[in-house]
Amino acid sequence: MAPISSHPAAASRIAGLIVAGALLAGTLAHAADAPRPTLSATDVLAQSAPSAWRPVDPENTLYLELATGRVVMELAPAFAPRHVANLKTLVREKYFDGLSIVRAMDDYVVEWEDSEGKRPTQSAATTLPPEFFGDVRAEQPFLRLPDGDVYAPEVGFSGGYPVARDPKTHTRWLTHCYGMLGLGRDNDPTSGFGGSPFVVIGQTRNLDRNDTLIGRVVHGIDLLSTLPRGTGPLGFYEKREQHVPIRSMKVAADVPVAERTEVEVLRTDTPTFLAYVEARRSPPLGWYVQPAGHVDVCTVRVAARLRPKGPVPAAK
C-alpha cells in the first residue's frame, strides 16, 4: 500500500481550510497560495471516517453478470428518472439475459444490445422522451469545481456524480466521464429506451447532452475496459463469435443479500471529499515536482470500494 502520512494534523488542517473557504460557499475554491496538502488522495481515503462513505441503494444498483465476473453499476434516478425506471423494467423482464456485449471501441465505450433486433420487450417502453439534460433543482446540491472545463460553463459534483451546468439556461447534466453508464440510441433522440446500454472507457465528453446517462460503474469496470477491441467501424465486433455473452442483468435488490456485492461510494458533500479533490489537484511533495494546481472533473474519479466487513456505522 502507499504509505500513510504520519502527520495527523494535516487532515484537520486541510479539512478546516477548505470547509472555511469553500464548502460553506458551495464552491470548491482553490487558493493559489494555499499550502501544499500533505496527504495524497490515497491517504485521504485510508484515513477517512466511515461516515465519509454511503452505501449504494440495492434498488438502484444493477449487476451485469459476465463469465469473468460481476460489473456493479449505480443508477442515478435523480438525473434520468424515466430511463432508470425503464432500464430496471428491462432488466426485470430478463431482456438482457443471454444477449452479448457487441462493441468495444478503444478509448471510447463498451456497449451491449440485442444485435439481431429480435428480442421483444414486455412492459418496458421502446421509445422515451430524452433526458439528455434537465433543469437545475434546488434540492440537488452542487459542489462546483473552480478549475474550469473545456466543454461546459460549470462543472462539479452532485450526489456522487460528475455534473455540468449552464447557468444561462439553468440546466444540468451528467458528464461522460470514465465509468459512466449511458443508453445508446439511433438518430432518433427518443430511441435510447435502454436496449443498448454503454459504459464509458475513454474520453467521450463530446457526447455530453447527446444521450441519456443514467449512472456509473462502481465495481468491476476492468471486466469491461480490458475486453478485446472490436475491429469494425465504431469498435463493433465483426464476427458473432467475438461477442461477449451476458449471463444476466439483475437489480441488486432482487438478489439474495448473501449474494450481493456490497459497494459504498465516497460522499461528495463532505470535508473528506474536498480534501480528496485537493490532493488530486496538488499532490503532496514527494514524487511530484510540478503539481498541476488544477483538476479535470473526470480526473477526480469519485472513489468507490467494497464495503468493509462489520456493522454499518450509524450516520454522524
Q: Does 67 bind a copy of itself (CB under 8 A)?
A: no
Residue 148: CA atoms inside 13 Å, Cβ hemisphere, count?
Answer: 3
Nearer Cβ to a copy of itself (119/229): 229
Q: What is the Cα–Cα distance from 22 to 33, expressed in whole angstroms? A: 15
The residue from 82, 243, 294, 307 that contacts a copy of itself (CB under 8 A) is 294
List, edge to edge, every strand of the sheet that includes 161-166.
Answer: 134-135, 171-174, 161-166, 154-158, 143-144
Q: What is the Cα–Cα distance from 216 to 175, expressed in whole angstroms? A: 11
Binding window for a copy of itself (CB under 8 A); candidates: 21-29, 47-55, 219-227, 306-314: 219-227
Q: Does 237 bind a copy of itself (CB under 8 A)?
A: no
Nearer Cβ to a copy of itself (212/268): 212
Q: Does 254 bind a copy of itself (CB under 8 A)?
A: no
Scanning residues 18 to 47, which ones bind a copy of itself (CB under 8 A)? 42
19 phi/psi in degrees, rounded to 5: -60, -45
Q: Does 208 bind a copy of itself (CB under 8 A)?
A: yes
The residue from 16, 55, 129, 222 that contacts a copy of itself (CB under 8 A) is 222
Q: Does 6 bind a copy of itself (CB under 8 A)?
A: no
Distances, alpha carbon 20 to alpha carbons 31, 33, 199, 252, in Å = 12, 15, 37, 39
Which sign does the torsion angle of CA 99, 105, 110, 113 carry?
negative
Q: What is the Cα–Cα distance from 106 to 155, expressed in whole angstroms? A: 25
Nearer Cβ to a copy of itself (91/200): 200
Distances, alpha carbon 203 to alpha carbons 105, 168, 175, 208, 270, in Å = 11, 26, 11, 11, 27
Cβ atoms of 156 and 180 within 8 Å: the answer is: no
The residue from 8, 118, 290, 311 that contacts a copy of itself (CB under 8 A) is 290
Q: What is the Cα–Cα distance from 294 to 316, expressed in whole angstroms? A: 31
Q: Does 288 bind a copy of itself (CB under 8 A)?
A: yes
Q: Does 178 bind a copy of itself (CB under 8 A)?
A: yes
The residue from 83, 205, 216, 260 that contacts a copy of itself (CB under 8 A) is 205
CB of 236 to a copy of itself, least distance (A): 11
Q: What is the Cα–Cα distance from 194 to 64, expressed in whole angstroms? A: 14
Return residues touching a copy of itself (CB under 8 A).
Answer: 1-2, 42, 106-107, 132, 147-151, 178-179, 186-187, 189, 202-203, 205-206, 208-210, 221-222, 225-229, 233-234, 280, 283, 286-290, 292, 294-296, 298-299, 301
